């Protein structure tokens, strides 16, 4: 399910992860230098999706939201929010399509791992 929430938020907590360079580190290591921002009384848009358990290994099941400011000049991962008022748009897409890279390095990626515990650590 895809969704967009546009409105006024009494509280918003987001994280910003530094840009990664090759070779990419595991996400838990990559976020070690993250910056967390907290906002009060901010108008913005949250966009995100909810993925099902069957994507475990190629994505993380559950909700994933990003904050986009009014100028559309920043995009941060949402950790917490309190919506004061706003509008919501939903799109329940009945199919899932993912195209994988055709590079040699991608053939070495281990996709069979359950990253749920690692992601719970990362998103706190």
- Number of separate domains in the chain: 1
pLDDT at position 89 over 80:
yes
Question: Residues 28-50, buried b or exposed e (16+ Cβ, 10 A)?
Answer: eeebeeeeeeebeebebbbbbee
pLDDT at position 124 over 60:
no
| CATH of residue 88 | 3.30.1330.80
Mean pLDDT over each residue of the chain, to the nearest integer? 84
- Of the listed ranges 11-25, 33-47, 81-95, the least confidently predicted one is 11-25
Domain assignment of residue 35, given as a range: 2-122
Q: What is the pLDDT of residues 24-64, one digit of tens each?
A: 777 777 777 788 999 999 999 999 999 888 877 777 788 89
Helix (H, G, I), strand (E, B) or coil at 89: strand
């Amino acid at each position: 399910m895809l969704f967009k929430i546009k409105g006024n938020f009494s509280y918003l907590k987001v994280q910003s992860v530094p840009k990664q360079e090759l070779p990419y580190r595991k996400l838990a290591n990559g976020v070690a230098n993250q910056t967390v921002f907290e906002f009060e009384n901010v108008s913005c848009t949250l966009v995100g999706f909810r993925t099902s358990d069957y994507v475990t290994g190629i994505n993380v099941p559950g909700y994933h939201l990003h904050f986009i400011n009014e100028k559309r000049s920043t995009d941060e991962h949402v950790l917490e929010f309190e919506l004061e008022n706003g509008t919501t748009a939903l799109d329940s897409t009945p199919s899932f399509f993912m195209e994988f890279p055709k590079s040699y390095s991608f053939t070495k990626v281990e996709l069979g791992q359950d990253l749920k515990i690692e992601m719970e650590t990362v998103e706190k």
